[in-house]
């Protein structure tokens, strides 16, 4: 048990942040799965549309501090390369 009032408040804040981060990560994970499914179909237009949705979710997760900017950029780059390979 924490000895100070501030430590108790910090534990509460951490719990709220953990829940929020889990929700954001789950939405990112589902968006990535949907994008991968569209990629397997091989349709470039659908893949581009799915990538736009995925890109917005990635940007929001960075803004909320759940993932870092470099990871977001790396994922975007990899997915753009996969879209470019589709013909």
Q: Residue 15's domain is classified under what CATH number? A: 1.20.58.110
Position 55 scores a pLDDT of 97
The boundaries of the domain holding residue 35 are: 5-85
Residue 87 in this model has a pLDDT that exceeds 80: no
Q: How many domains does the chain fold into?
A: 1
Q: What is the reported pTM?
A: 0.84
Region for residue 42 given its phi and psi (left: phi exceeds 0; alpha: psi -120 to 50; beta: otherwise): left
Kindly report the CA angle at 35 between 59 and 58, in degrees rounded to 5?
Answer: 10
Q: So what's the pLDDT on residue 14?
A: 96
Q: If DSSP codes are grouped into helix, strand and coil, which group holds residue 13? A: helix
């Amino acid at each position: 048990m924490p000895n100070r009032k501030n430590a108790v408040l910090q534990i509460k804040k951490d719990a709220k942040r953990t829940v929020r981060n889990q929700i954001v990560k789950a939405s990112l994970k589902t968006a990535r799965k949907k994008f991968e499914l569209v990629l397997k179909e091989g349709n470039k237009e659908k893949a581009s549309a799915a990538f736009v949705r995925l890109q917005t979710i990635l940007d929001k997760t960075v803004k909320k501090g759940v993932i870092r900017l470099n990871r977001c950029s790396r994922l975007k780059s990899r997915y753009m390369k996969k879209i470019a390979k589709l013909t």
